[in-house]
Amino acid sequence: MRWTRILTAFLVLVLLQAGVASAQTVLRIGLNDDPDALDPTISRAYVGRLVFAAFCDKLFDVTPDLKIVPQLATGYEWTAGGRSVVIKLRPGVKFHDGEPFNAEAVRFNIERHLSTPGSFRKSEIGEIKSVDVVNDLTVRFNLAEPLVPLIAALTDRAGMMISPKAARELGDRFGTRPVCAGPFKFVERVAQGKIVGEKFADYWDKANVHVDRIEFVPIIDSTARLANLRSGDLDMIERVSPTDLAQVRSDPKLKVVSVPELGYQMLPLNLNNGPRGKVLGADPRLRQAIDLAIDRETIIKTVFNNEYIPGNQFVSPVSPFYNAKFPVKKRDVARARQLLREAGQPNLAFTLIVPPERDRQEAALVIQAMLAEAGITMTIQTQENVTMLTAGRKGDFEAYFTFWSGRPDPDGNIFTFTTCNGAQNDSKYCNHDIDGILTRARHEPDAAERKKLYDQTTEIMLRDLPRLILWHRRIFTGHTIRLQGFTPHPDGIIRLKGLKLS
Amino acid sequence: MTLPRYVGQRLVVLVPTLFFVSVMIFGLQQLLPGDAAVALAGEEHDPAVVAAIRQKYNLDRPVPVQYAIWIGKVVRGDFGESMRNRIPVAELLAAKLPVTVELAVCSMAIALLIGIPAGVIAAVKQGRPVAVAANVLALSGLSVPHFWLGIMLILLFAVHLGWLPASGYVAPWEDLRRNLATIALPSFVLGTGVGGVMMRHTRGAMVETLGADYVRTARSKSVTERMVVLKHALRNALIPVVTLGAIEFGRLLSGAVLTEQIFAIPGFGKMLVDGVFNRDYAVVQGVVLVSAALYVLLNLAGDVLAFLVNPRLRGTT
């Protein structure tokens, strides 16, 4: 019959499509979300940074213990009392399109970060007023004010260097096919599908790149992502959920590594952002009572399988800037009740906005029960993430449940949240002393002196409590045992150099 | 009435339908709480950045003006740009349409392969255990949640047996074998759902035709039962089934959101959901408009098929 003949022909065609056997090593990494535009100037999604690690090298990088090390730049020196910094560049570096990396390219990139409308890097390096090309391999940034965290900012997207020629050619479309100077060259991106890169033959550190091809596959569902790792369709997955750890750990073909994150999970409290600020903003004792009624350790044990780290400050307890004089307080319901009585509100009631995400919803329920024991009625209002963030900006909240992914420099974890005009200060907390201290800390190059200033900050923060820091997550990365050479970093970014896949 | 006239009339209705759809989807998105510029800005709350985004995408203009700007471009083929990726929406739609079509076609094929025979059996052997089994099969296809079935299949075929990839998609012109491997499980998940529907339609239509006069005539002429069922009854029963099948196919084309998420298939469904969560208005509007157009056209195709197959619909010429 004609049918059978057609079917047979089709099957033969399929079977003949033998995949070409190649000696290429391919590393497949599963991403939790789909990255946005792959343009360092306008990219804002965290997951985009993982992809940039393959394509775009930066001026500097950070080690796992947050020391700044050279990458495209070889060194830096503060001059003119901190008002300018001279950066020496690595010789012999090429962009993926063959263009040379030099001081002129650095100037182009910094000016692009500063002048592009909608640039997300402006707030990170906005203090740079001008860039001078000293010679081909030396560049000088002139600042309005000294800014110690600037170098740390250059270890992330603000320090990523793109090819000026490609930027001019592609214009607005650069984010669809990035051309940088990293270990891998962009090959293709299937929209909302995988992103593919191949080893860059002229990479300046090519001896350390042992993988020929890299594929990033966004898979939103965590169960599906885990299944891919177990079946071998993925070699690595990032930010494994604590509840999936047991499965990964019990599989002999897989391995989990973890590192404490740079950021924190928090409840910003409305102190003075519109009329709703009256609920919790009236008296710091109300906020202290809420803080004392929460048992962070129990929540971490029950909701997160004891995998997270309790926190109360804007840096985690493993950070050198943590103020050891103020460890996380133990729960004290009696004292909480007393504070509420003193403040004249023994039956405090407020609303916490929580996005519909399992981790935060469960934690919120436990917090609700704990607060009830202290006489506090907390109502949980579920709002989708974007709606919640918008409400936060507008002051349409009393408390909401969010997080900050963290920055290598402590300034990045507090300045914009706590200064009177800070862009991320939804609480509208305003303490001019704090403004002064934090501004001095940004200008202070000596680490010991900075620590003293941040210690002062922490003491005030724990008294005023414009936001409740709850815990610091651990970043879990799961990978096949065939992968060697992986060292986790606190920012969660997978560095690809040194990785070997057997 | 002639076929060209029939088709022409229906196509004319397409324009106001699409216009209405465009107004609806544009308006509905404006109702979504949350600020699109804030959505794009995410963690970075720099007000200058948010303002720049608002200006670039006309988010600060009055809503009717925004609509006019958008629809004016659409008419010229410019569906705008994804605010998140800066990729033109037309490009995204063109890239994902083949994926969605392939998934829809394969799912439909499985649905028909399961549904029609099951429906025929259930109609012919009414009341017998075989018919009950067919009914149960259809109902379970309809009731089992897609995401559960999908995960179970991944665990079985990818993790434990290792026969098929757990997720992802490879274009057929890149690697046909792998393409079929990636499309197998999601098509099966979707196909069982639609298969249930097709089975019910087929069964209903078959029961009706089997009771018709011409079937009784055929039987009395000693035509074998097999021929009665397949040649006489089924061919006529297929008319309504085809029409309904076209509608189901149209629904498949608007994207299977959950299945695409589980299997990481870059089709319309995933793009739509991501667009809503990111307040990427242009993307959502583009997907809905194209899906609506496809749906209407498929409806038309179904009716044309019925028109061609059933002379009674043609009326007097």
User: What is the SS3 assignment for A53-108?
Assistant: HHHCCECEEECCCCCEEECCEEEEEEEHHHCEEEEEECCCCECCCCCECCHHHHHH
pLDDT at B317: 46
Chain B, 66-105: which have a CB under 8 Å from a chain A CB? 84-87, 91-92, 95-96
Nearest-CA residue of chain B relative to A391? Answer: B34
CB B232 within 8 A of CB B223: yes
Of the two residues B95 and A71, the one the predictor is more confident about is A71
Residues of A within 8 A of B87 (CB-CB) are 37, 173, 176, 191
A232 close contact with B: CB closer than 8 A? yes
**DSSP character for A244?**
G
Statement: residue A44 has pLDDT above 70: yes
In this predicted structure, the answer to whether residue B243 has a pLDDT above a threshold of 90 is no
Contact A389 B34 (CB under 8 A): yes
State the sign of the Cα–Cα–Cα–Cα dihedral A47, A305, A62, A389. positive
- Asked whether the beta carbons of residue B166 and residue A233 sit closer than 8 angstroms, the reply is yes
Is the Cβ of A449 closer than 8 Å to some Cβ of chain B? no
- Which of A43, A194, A221, A226 to probe by mutation at the B interface, max B CB count within 10 Å? A221
Task: Share the mean pLDDT of chain B.
Answer: 85
Give CA separation, A282 vs A278, A322, A338, B8, in Å. Answer: 5, 28, 17, 70
The CA distance from B41 to B28, in Å, is 22
Q: What is the pLDDT of residues B160-175, one digit of tens each?
A: 998 998 888 888 888 8
B117 touches A at CB < 8 Å: no
> pLDDT by residue (tens digit) across A441-466?
998 888 899 999 999 999 999 999 99
Query: Which among B46, B92, B177 has the least Cβ separation from residue A17?
Result: B177
How does residue A479 score in pLDDT terms, banded at 50, 70 and 90?
very high
Residue burial B285-314, b: 16+ Cβ < 10 Å; e: rest: bbbbbbbbebbbbbbbbbbbbbbeeeeeee
For A:2-21, CB contacts with B below 8 A are 13-15, 17-19
How far apart CA A34 and CA A103 sit, in angstroms, is: 33
Which residues, listed in sequence order, are joined to residue A73 by a DSSP beta bridge? A89
Q: What are phi and psi of B43, to 5 degrees?
A: -65, -35
8 Å CB contact between B26 and B14 = no
- In this complex, is the C-beta atom of B35 within 8 Å of any C-beta atom belonging to chain A? yes
Sign, Cα dihedral of B85, B88, B90, B94: negative
Q: Is B55 in Cβ contact with A117 (below 8 Å)?
A: yes
pLDDT digits (tens, 9 = 90+) for A134-184: 999 999 999 988 888 999 999 999 999 999 999 999 988 899 899 999 999
Report whether pLDDT(B254) > 80. no
Q: Is the pLDDT of residue A18 over 60?
A: no
Are B56 and A194 an interchain contact pair (Cβ–Cβ within 8 Å)? no
Which residue would you say has higher pLDDT here, A341 or B227? Answer: A341
- Got the DSSP string for A296-340? HHHHHHHHSTT-SEE--SSS-TTSTT--TTSPPPPP-HHHHHHHH
Torsion of CA A403, A404, A405, A406, to 10 degrees: -140
Token pair, residue B79, equals 């569906």
Pairing mode, if any, of strands A309-310 and A467-472? Answer: antiparallel
Q: Which residue of A has its CA nearest to B90?
A: A191
Interface of B with A in 171-230 (CB under 8 A): 175-178, 180
Which residues, in sequence order, are CB contacts of A157 under 8 Å at separation 6+?
A40, A41, A43, A49, A52, A58, A120, A121, A124
A355 touches chain B (CB under 8 A): no
Instruction: Report the residue of chain B nearest A388, measured CA to CA.
Output: B34
State whether residue A324 sits within 8 Å of chain B by CB: no
ipTM score: 0.76
Residue of A nearest to B276 (CA): A386
Of B96, B177, B261, the CB nearest to A220: B261
Q: Do B87 and A191 touch (CB under 8 A)?
A: yes
Best probe of the A interface among B146, B154, B283, by most A CBs < 10 A, is B154
Q: Which residue has the higher pLDDT, A241 or A371?
A: A371
H-run or E-run covering A28: strand A26-31
Total CB pairs under 8 A between chain A and B: 159
Least confident stretch, A95-99, A359-363, A473-477, B264-268: B264-268
Q: Which residue has the higher pLDDT, B235 or A186?
A: A186
Residue among B315, B314, B181, B190 nearest B252 (CA): B190
Q: Is the pLDDT of residue B96 over 50?
A: yes
Return the exposure string of A376-411: e unless at least 16 CB atoms fall within 10 Å of the residue's CB, then b.
Answer: bebeeeebbbbbbbbbbbebbbbbbbbbbbbbbbbb
Instruction: Give B86's pLDDT tier (boundaries 50, 70, 90).
Output: confident
Higher-confidence residue: B98 or A398?
A: A398
Q: Is the model's pLDDT at A21 over the cut of 50?
A: no
Token pair for A58: 């930066």
Residue B296 pLDDT > 90, yes or no?
A: no
Query: pLDDT band at B273, cuts 50/70/90?
Result: confident
Partners of A89 in the β-ladder: A73
Joined tokens for residue A360 = 């935060």
> Do B38 and A393 count as a contact with CB atoms less than 8 A apart?
yes
Angle between helix B281-309 and B3-31 (nearest 10): 160
Over residues A182-192, the pLDDT tens digits come to 999 999 998 77
* CB pair distance less than 8 Å for A117 and B52: yes
For residue B45, give the nearest of A221, A234, A393 by CB distance. Answer: A393
**pLDDT cut 70: percent of chain A above it:** 96
Å from B316 to nearest chain A CA?
37
The crossing angle, in degrees rounded to 10, of helices B176-210 and A2-16 is 160
Is any Cβ of chain B less than 8 angstroms from the Cβ of A115? no
Q: Are the CB atoms for A364 and A380 separated by under 8 Å?
A: yes
Strands A377-382 and A128-135: unpaired
- Average pLDDT for A64-89: 92
Calculate mean pLDDT across residues B213-227: 80
Contacts of A19 in chain B (CB under 8 A): 175, 177-178
Average pLDDT, chain A: 91
Q: Please list every residue in chain A whose beta carbon sits closer than 8 Å to the beta carbon of residue B109.
A: none
CB within 8 Å: A172 and B86: yes
Tell me if A493 sits within 8 A of A318, measured CB to CB: no
Q: Distance between CA A491 and CA A262 in Å, rounded?
A: 6
Single-letter residue type at B130: V
